[in-house]
Amino acid sequence: MATTNQLQNVLKITFGVVPIVAGLDKFTNLLTNWSDYLGAGFKGMLPFDALVFMKIVGVIEIVAGIIVLIRPLIGAFIVMVWLIAIAIELIFSGHYFDVAVRDLVMAVGAYSLAQLTRIKSAGA
């Protein structure tokens, strides 16, 4: 049976590495063309090209992943809010509802990491 520490470590690694990989991919688009996920209305509000915006998003995701690995309580909340924001943008764009649901489920996982980290800190 997994311990609280094991569960916390699995979630910390997951929510640390996945944002870093996704962030790095914003510069290469090997996994997907990330700017396709931006709704037309949102793209129209940007003061610059969608590709530039996605690179900024990539930097934010890389930093968020690093924060999760170093300070999992704070990082988990950052990733949770970030995932909820992405899901909301996808819902309002009217596309990629499956990805929005996935991101909301991942946000629950990030919240779980924060709570496990809090429990671990309280017991220390």
Long-range Cβ pairs for the range 76-79 (8 Å, 24+): 76/11, 76/15, 76/110, 76/111, 76/113, 76/114, 76/117, 77/110, 77/111, 77/114, 79/15, 79/19, 79/107, 79/110
Provide the mean pLDDT of the chain.
94
Percent of the chain with pLDDT over 70: 99
> Per-residue pLDDT tens for 38-96?
888 888 899 999 999 999 999 999 999 999 999 999 999 999 999 999 999 999 999 99
Q: Is a pLDDT exceeding 80 seen at residue 2?
A: no
- The whole model's pTM is what? 0.91
Confidence tier at 121 by pLDDT (50, 70, 90): confident
What integer is the mean pLDDT of 100-123? 94
**pLDDT for 30:** 95
Q: Is a pLDDT exceeding 80 seen at residue 120?
A: yes
**pLDDT for 124:** 62
**pLDDT for 66:** 98
**pLDDT for 1:** 75
